[in-house]
Chains A and B, each alone.
Chain A
Amino acid sequence: MKDENIYLALVTILAPLSIAAIGGATGIYAPLQHETVELRQWMTSREFIDLFAVSRLAPGPGSMLAPIIGWNVAGFSGALLATVALYLPSSVLCYGAARVWNRYRGKPWHRAIEAGLSPVAAGLIFSGILGLLRLGQTGPLSWFTVVLVAGLLMWRPKLHPLILIGCGALVFFLLHVVGA
């Protein structure tokens, strides 16, 4: 490996991805792997896949893979820098858009855009669910769980989702134990 500044490298990899990644959090996986494994050889392919798996154990956005890579190559400051580099540009952009958007609240055309965008949001949510279910090696059990959880939450809106997450983990684990 060349004697390069690892902090600078983290920023130059992640800051552009913040805005340019296509498809949200899942869009950063492939370019991150290309940069860290193939181009800079900070880690092996195996290590990258392990880090990816570990990042999904933690709560929060799927893009938390970035701080874990920063941690791996440059410790705590690397993790912090990676987080700022990945989230700051997109956050500033979104803040600007939200500010402009909320400034015109109450105008008739603003109400029309709000009402017109809501069904588009609904369509995007269902597309996201379908995409994620197709992406994984998920079986019918996952499909069934999605429907069951959605139904339970519609029926009992006060039910805390952490209870369901715990139950889901337990049921999938037990089915693994009995070999289903």
Chain B
Amino acid sequence: MNHPPPVSLAMIYSLFFRIGLFSFGGQLSSWIHREVVLVRGWMTNEEFLSGMALSQILPGVNSTNTAIFVGQRLRGAWGATAAIVAMLTGPFFAVILAAIFYQWIIGWYGIQSIMEGVAAVALGMLARLGISAGRGAAKGLAPALAMLATFIGVGVMRWPMLGVVAVVAPISVLVCYVQGRRHEG
């Protein structure tokens, strides 16, 4: 088993607290990817993406699962707890503030447009993560096909995600396994 990189619980807490507070318009995973993989290098791109896929395959409310995965990988149970509690603290108090003042806020001029703009930028961040993930996938024909098949099945045809993943993922993994063995000789 690899030794996890030396990341303290306090570092995990303060990073995820900021991610929670900054993530206007949602799309937490793109923020986590930026800070954990691109800026700090606590994880490799592939490690993060496979964790993200795992988080999305799991049932239920999964927008916070990536934080659990990263925290667990870095510092086990306490790392996961620090990450999720930190990430929800800011939004929790922000949403209560918003609840107190909501009738006033809702009357703001142009608030709908502002929110639409914020949401579009957050989606752009997610697209940047998608491009970076896609680049990694485009290394070979098989992963490129796996990416395309997932996108067409889930995104374009709107088939159930679990069914599409259940077909595409095993084939993709098997090809990687066979290629890995051949590579090692």
Contact = CB atoms under 8 A, between A and B. Distances in A.
Q: Do A and B come from one complex?
A: yes
Interface of A: 17-25, 27-28, 50-51, 53-64, 67-68, 71-72, 76, 79-80, 83, 86-87, 89-91, 93-95, 97-99, 101-103, 105-106, 108-109, 111-133, 136, 138, 141-142, 145-150, 152-154, 157, 161-162, 164-165, 167-173, 175-177
Interface string B7-43: 0000000000000111111101001001000100000
Interface centre among A113, A115, A118 (most CB of B within 10 A): A118
Given A25-B62, A118-B46, 13 more contacts: A21-B59, A24-B60, A50-B106, A60-B26, A90-B62, A114-B46, A119-B143, A121-B53, A130-B156, A149-B121, A154-B132, A157-B38, A168-B118
B50 A113 contact: yes
10 contacts: A55-B95, A57-B105, A59-B24, A67-B92, A97-B58, A117-B172, A122-B151, A127-B150, A146-B123, A173-B117
B2 A106 contact: yes
Given A91-B80, A126-B130, A153-B125, A119 B64 contact: no
Contacts, number: 370
A110 B91 CA distance: 35
Contact of A172 (B54, B80, B116): B116
B110 A176 contact: yes
Interface range for B? 35 or more
- Residues of B contacting A: mostly: helix
Contact of B64 (A90, A138, A172): A90
